[in-house]
């Protein structure tokens, strides 16, 4: 059987080079795996407050410690989360949190601490987080005037 006059040995086959496609797909997978890990370590599902002014600044790329106040129902807090570790909102949990903060801040005096809390969480549950940051600074021996504590909010005005 003769399939083609030009290709005497049979029909010409079409072959696409799959290598760049697979390269790109793997690169994208690695990217998303890493990004999703970073995101899960840093972000707790909460609704941040949105102040009416545009005075809040964009975060810089400096190294930072993110302390989350995990929201519970009725303005309470289920705990405090530093990286992937979670601390109970009782006396012992807060003591552990101070120790963990001090360990994280040690050796980097210019470190920035970001505090994230839900907009409905009562202030009485956020205050211990701020106190823990202050105590952690004192414990790690970092000059308070050099410490940078930031409150994380949503940017832009309500209509924006």
Among the listed residues 57, 61, 73, 107, the single contact to another protein using CB under 8 A: 57
Asked whether the beta carbons of 65 and 102 are under 8 A apart, the reply is: no
Task: Tell me which DSSP letter residue 14 carries.
Answer: P
16 binds another protein (CB under 8 A): no
CB of 3 to another protein, least distance (A): 18
As a whole number of angstroms, the distance between CA 86 and CA 79 comes to 7
CB of 57 to another protein, least distance (A): 6
25 binds another protein (CB under 8 A): yes
Q: How far out from the chain centre does Cα 111 lie?
A: 16
∠ CA(101), CA(108), CA(64), 5° rounding? 65
Beta bridge partners of 112: 64, 148
CB of 122 to another protein, least distance (A): 5
Return the closest-CA partner of residue 129 out of 64, 60, 75, 81. 81
Residues 85-144 that bind another protein (CB under 8 A): 89-91, 94, 114-115, 117-128, 130-131, 133-134, 137-138, 144
10 binds another protein (CB under 8 A): no
How many Cα atoms are found within 13 Å in the side-chain-facing hemisphere of 26? Answer: 6
13 binds another protein (CB under 8 A): no
Q: How many chain residues touch another protein (CB under 8 A)? A: 65
Nearer to another protein, 4 or 60 (CB): 60
Asked whether the beta carbons of 68 and 39 are under 8 A apart, the reply is: no
Which residues are at the interface with another protein (CB under 8 A)? 18, 21-22, 25-26, 28-29, 32-33, 35-36, 39, 43, 48-59, 69, 75-77, 89-91, 94, 114-115, 117-128, 130-131, 133-134, 137-138, 144-145, 147-156
């Amino acid at each position: 059987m003769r399939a083609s006059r030009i290709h005497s040995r049979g029909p010409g086959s079409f072959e696409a080079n799959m290598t760049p496609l697979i390269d790109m797909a793997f690169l994208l997978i690695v990217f998303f795996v890493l990004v999703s890990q970073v995101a899960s370590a840093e972000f707790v599902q909460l609704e941040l407050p949105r102040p009416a002014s545009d005075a809040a600044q964009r975060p810089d790329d400096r190294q930072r410690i993110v302390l989350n106040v995990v929201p519970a129902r009725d303005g309470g807090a289920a705990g405090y989360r530093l990286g992937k570790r979670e601390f109970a909102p009782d006396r012992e949990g807060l003591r552990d949190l101070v120790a963990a903060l001090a360990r994280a801040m040690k050796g980097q005096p210019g470190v920035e601490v970001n505090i994230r809390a839900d907009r409905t969480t009562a202030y009485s549950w956020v205050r211990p987080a701020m106190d823990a940051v202050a105590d952690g600074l004192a414990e790690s021996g970092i000059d308070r005037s050099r410490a940078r504590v930031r409150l994380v909010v949503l940017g832009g005005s309500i209509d924006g």
